[in-house]
Chain A
Amino acid sequence: MQININSVTKRYGDYVALDGVSAEIPSGSVFGLLGPNGAGKTSLIRIMNQITGPDQGQILLDGKPLKPSDVNRIGYLPEERGLYKKMEVGEQSMYLARLKGLDSKQAKVALKDWFERFEIQDWWKKKVEELSKGMAQKVQFITTVLHNPELLIFDEPFSGFDPINAELIKNEILELNRKGTTVIFSTHRMESVEQMCDYIALISRSKFVLNGSLNEIRERFRDNTFKLEIRGDHSESQFNLPEGAILLEEKQDANILTKVVRLQGSDTTPLLKAGMELGTIQLLSEVIPSVNEIFIQTVKQSHE
């Protein structure tokens, strides 16, 4: 499912939560919605889920404006999530599935499938309050994806999940994505973004400050920084820094000398030459900024 966000604005009284944001999320992609707390991520996600409506602009699904029945095509795991504590797992899962438009037969079949897959068949008659937190999280995940949504939206999916379940959930999300489900997730944890996302958008102060494919964005943020590792103890020797280059970092560890240098251009020949004068070069690699660095840098810039 392709999603177009067309200059969406949302206000709460005088407060502007989203200020004319636009983005295109290609079908079948994993889209990361990044931003500091309070930037407007959850507001945008709630609009996509039709929990609230935009004041201006619109969301298109496969080119058509959102309509009420579209909630059945979307699976949503909110950041603030939970289950009815007094209800039995099976009964509750059936209820949530039917609210997503499945009839009881379909719901039962799909639930059996997932319960077998997670090996939790014997939880069916348990009350949610009897489950551990990790167990409840599994149930919650199942109820989110049960109706085979074309679009899955996760708000901070890994917050509150223990590492083992987080890994499990991550793999399940990627598996669903391989089968064609478009995935949007919002997070402020950058490591998961690098592992999972094809596309990202960065929200800061109610606006998209960055938006595009992950590789393209990282390409854009390359600044000709290279890491050079030279074998041997050469701390005493003179290192001829190429013209215009800046030495960012230097380290001698055992007999490996490491230097991080920002060059003026992308030509690494002068750097290699300078290194060879000192000893054997073990490694030369480009230091590509992490999403985290891009994030911090961009947010800072946007605040200036």
Chain B
Amino acid sequence: MNKILLIIQREYLSRVKKRSFLIMTIVGPILLSAIGILPAYFASMPEPDRTLMVLDQADILDMDRGTERITLKYLGPPANYTIDEAKEQFMLTEDYALVYIPTGSGWDPDFISKNIVIYGKEEVSLGIKSFVEDLIRSKIEDLKLRNQGVDPEVIAQVRTVVRVKSINIEESGAEEESIVEGKMVIGFIFAFFMYFFIFIFGSQVMNGVMEEKSNRVVEVIVSSVRPFQLMMGKILGSGLVGLTQFLIWIVLSFVIYTAFTGIFLADKMEAIQTIAEQSAGTENIEQLQNDGLSSALSFLDSLNVPLLIGSFIFYFLAGFFLYASMFAAIGSAVENQADAQQFLFPVTIPIILSIVIAMKVAEDPNGPLGFWFSMIPFTSPIVMVTRISFGVPYWQLGLSMALLILGFIGTTWVASRIYRVGILMYGKKITWGELWKWMKYGG
């Protein structure tokens, strides 16, 4: 036992001391929080003020002035200009783009809507393009409605926003508001974490085993410890490195996210607040804030956080052990990356399958697909963590965990039998049949 600790210690320290670990540890949370921050940050960046020159021959825009940031300037009267003249005029100005709305032979809204052109001196931004499209669409829709004798005001009144609150009724009769979207997000995050973790750290185990074999240090080591101890030591050591990295990521991401939003988005937040205050008055704003806060709190409340984290860590480790032992067996059988490919394929298939199934399961967490694939040990680590935030019956959770433990004992047993032969086997072309034979060797 003492020796396995030594192996774990060496494995852990040598990996943690590597530059790549440091880089991953720092870059990871930056990436993670960037995913959270960047969209908000870019959204908060003001677009420069722009002036669009418009040749509205169909007279559809009704001299609309545009918005605060996008000013529309009309050439007129439109009938006096041909499009070529308009272009000439446009090139003389500083205007950002020229919008050309032709009438065609008759005044046909469908013809107009399909023949609008934006000319720009450079690539016209997507934002501007969609602004123009939205504006013209709403104008044309209004016109069409009027032609049908419908008052656009009526339409505005008819337009309804539907929000469905979904509530779970517990057996006890207690009602619990469920926030499916939030749970889906948690499920996805868990599933992707698991996916990357198994892949990255699993192949690290494989490379470590391969390295020991090609360094020829392995026989020296197994003359001091049993091959099984060496394999388990490496797997446990790598698993701990993964767990360490994961925890550092969580903490750092949180810190970076908080700091970033605090510094860069604070003024933006204030701006939103001011606008809201102006339009709605102070009382309402407090009301709104309380609503947001209480819904966030009730969302957290609806989750069984200790169960969530506890079972995530369980699946995180058990799933890793299950796959890592297989990665170790592959590493022991081959002498270089290229040879590893043929054996990697069947191991990666269930991992990739799991993540695909997890996407489906998030939509229907308690359906048969979710149930069966969260029972199979090869897929349960990823599929089950996707389901957990939705609430999984305890018997299912227990059964899945028990099966996963059996599964990882099984793969570890098979893997260790391949491993002990493989690490000492050089210069042989390895096939599946060969691995099968190794497994059956005695002693």
Distance of A125 from chain B, by nearest CB (Å): 14
Whether A80 and B216, one on each chain, are in contact in the complex, defined by CB atoms closer than 8 angstroms, is yes
B424 on the interface (CB 8 Å rule)?
yes
Distance of A31 from chain B, by nearest CB (Å): 18
Beyond A84-B215, A95-B6, A99-B3, whether A78 also contacts B442 by CB under 8 A is no
A98 on the interface (CB 8 Å rule)?
yes
Binding site for B on A (CB under 8 A): 10-13, 46, 49-55, 68, 71-72, 74, 76-78, 80-87, 95-96, 98-100, 140, 143-144
Within 348-391 of B, Cβ neighbours of A (below 8 Å) are at none
Interface residues on B, range: 20 to 34
Whether A51 and B227, one on each chain, are in contact in the complex, defined by CB atoms closer than 8 angstroms, is yes
Of the 9-residue stretches B129-137, B190-198, B217-225, which lies at the interface with chain A?
B217-225
Whether A74 and B223, one on each chain, are in contact in the complex, defined by CB atoms closer than 8 angstroms, is yes
Which residues of A are found within 8 Å of B440, using beta-carbon distances?
Answer: 13
Which of B3, B217, B225 is within 8 Å of A82, CB to CB? B217
Which residues of A are found within 8 Å of B219, using beta-carbon distances?
Answer: 51, 78, 80-81
**What are 21 A-B residue pairs whose CB atoms fall within 8 Å in the complex?**
A13-B441, A51-B222, A51-B227, A51-B424, A52-B420, A68-B226, A71-B225, A78-B216, A80-B219, A80-B426, A81-B216, A81-B219, A81-B220, A82-B216, A83-B215, A84-B212, A86-B14, A96-B220, A98-B6, A99-B224, A143-B220
Whether B223 and A49, one on each chain, are in contact in the complex, defined by CB atoms closer than 8 angstroms, is yes
Whether B217 and A10, one on each chain, are in contact in the complex, defined by CB atoms closer than 8 angstroms, is no
Within 396-443 of B, Cβ neighbours of A (below 8 Å) are at 420, 424, 426, 437, 440-443
Whether A95 and B10, one on each chain, are in contact in the complex, defined by CB atoms closer than 8 angstroms, is yes
In the bound complex, CA of A10 to CA of B221 (Å): 22
Within 69-87 of B, Cβ neighbours of A (below 8 Å) are at none
Whether A51 and B223, one on each chain, are in contact in the complex, defined by CB atoms closer than 8 angstroms, is yes
Which residues of B are found within 8 Å of A53, using beta-carbon distances?
Answer: 442-443
Which of A13, A71, A80 is within 8 Å of B224, CB to CB? A71
Q: Which residue of chain A lies nearest to B10 when distances are taken between CB atoms in the complex? A: A95
In the bound complex, CA of A285 to CA of B217 (Å): 48
Which residues of B are found within 8 Å of A55, using beta-carbon distances?
Answer: 442-443
Beyond A13-B437, A53-B443, whether A99 also contacts B217 by CB under 8 A is no
Beyond A76-B223, A99-B6, whether A84 also contacts B437 by CB under 8 A is no
Most chain A Cβ neighbours within 10 Å, of B224, B226, B437, B440 = B224
